[in-house]
Amino acid sequence: MMGNNYEWLRQNMVEKQIRARGITDKRILDAFYKVPRHMFVGPDQKPLAYEDHPLPIEHNQTISQPFIVALMTEALQLKVNEKILEIGTGSGYQTAILAELADHVYTIERFERLSRSASTLLGELGYNNVTYRVGDGTKGWPEQAPFDRILAAAATERIPPALLEQLDTGGKLVMPVGDPGGQQLIVAGKDSSGKITRENLGGCRFLPLVEEIDS
Ligand code: SAH
């Protein structure tokens, strides 16, 4: 398929799947217009890259549905200068969207191969405000903390305490929480006194965050 067809499919995705469902922030829509989602999936999946559902990537993982990526991004309420921690780099698609909107993204992925291909692709696309780490994201990235925003694209039964600790005051964290049967998309905030607030954006379905057990 020609590049301009992808551009047309991408515009359609933004209009029908994102804007029509109520996400109207121009900066967010522009980021979705710009990031070439078909480059983040394998050859077989490219014709489906702009469809309204998640797609498989390597290691039995998935790249989230475009609307879900947009919803989580909107929930972060980015201004421009945030330092973000992302858990679950995966294909790097959400990473690229965040890199368009914030100052710097620190992203952690447990599979080295996924991390490496995401960093190669994002490098080729010109994103130089992203730092990659291979490891267990449930422990956060203490050397770089605190973070203005934290986003995790995989679910745990409760928000990992390390992530709440590494969230700056005034910060926001968005992630799916709950067991596989009943996950909710949660936005947690930390107010100026350090108190944690919680808002529920509704039901969702993500793969689990796999916690590494220290030996
Ligand atoms: N945002 C990604 C989708 C990620 S799917 C994208 O846009 O493509 C969730 C990812 O989280 C997977 O790549 C999975 O390997 C990773 N993951 C699962 N548990 C993890 C953990 N404990 N630490 C870091 N990454 C983890």
88: alpha, beta or left? (left if phi > 0; alpha if psi -120 to 50) = left
Ligand 1: residue whose CA is nearest its atom 11: 88
Asked if residue 84 is part of any domain, the answer here is yes
Decide whether any atom of ligand 1 lies within 6 Å of the 50 Cβ.
Answer: no
Residues 64, 91, 115, 117: which is the catalytic one?
64
Beta-sheet strands, E only, within 2-111: 55-57, 61-63, 83-87, 104-109
Q: What is the CATH number of the domain that holds 148?
A: 3.40.50.150
Is pLDDT of 66 > 60? yes
Instruction: Assess contact for 135 and 187: CB atoms under 8 A.
Output: no
Asked if residue 68 is part of any domain, the answer here is yes
Mutate to test the pocket of ligand 1, among 115, 209, 213, 214 (most ligand atoms within 8 A of CB): 209
Range of the domain at 141: 53-204
Rounded mean pLDDT of 101-105? 98
Q: Which of the 8 DSSP states describes residue 77?
A: -
* pLDDT tens figures, 14-59: 999 999 999 999 999 999 999 999 999 999 999 999 999 999 999 9
Rounded mean pLDDT of 52-79? 95
Decide whether any atom of ligand 1 lies within 6 Å of the 86 Cβ.
Answer: no
The confidence band for 215, taking pLDDT boundaries of 50, 70 and 90, is very low
Asked if residue 38 is part of any domain, the answer here is no
Asked if residue 23 is part of any domain, the answer here is no
pLDDT for res 211: 82
Is 64 among the residues known to form the active site? Answer: yes
* pLDDT tens figures, 159-206: 999 999 999 999 999 999 998 788 999 999 999 999 999 999 999 989
Asked if residue 47 is part of any domain, the answer here is no
| Rounded distance between C-alpha atoms, residue 139 and residue 207, angstroms | 18
Ligand 1 centroid – CA 57 distance (Å): 11
| 3-state SS assignment for residue 174 | strand
Ligand 1 centroid – CA 202 distance (Å): 21
pLDDT for res 213: 66
Asked if residue 139 is part of any domain, the answer here is yes
Instruction: Assess contact for 206 and 87: CB atoms under 8 A.
Output: no
Decide whether any atom of ligand 1 lies within 6 Å of the 39 Cβ.
Answer: no
| 3-state SS assignment for residue 81 | coil
Asked if residue 197 is part of any domain, the answer here is yes
Beta-sheet strands, E only, within 40-195: 55-57, 61-63, 83-87, 104-109, 130-134, 147-152, 167-177, 183-190
Ligand 1 centroid – CA 109 distance (Å): 6
* pLDDT tens figures, 127-153: 999 999 999 999 999 999 999 999 999
pTM of this structure: 0.96
Asked if residue 75 is part of any domain, the answer here is yes
Number of domains in the chain: 1
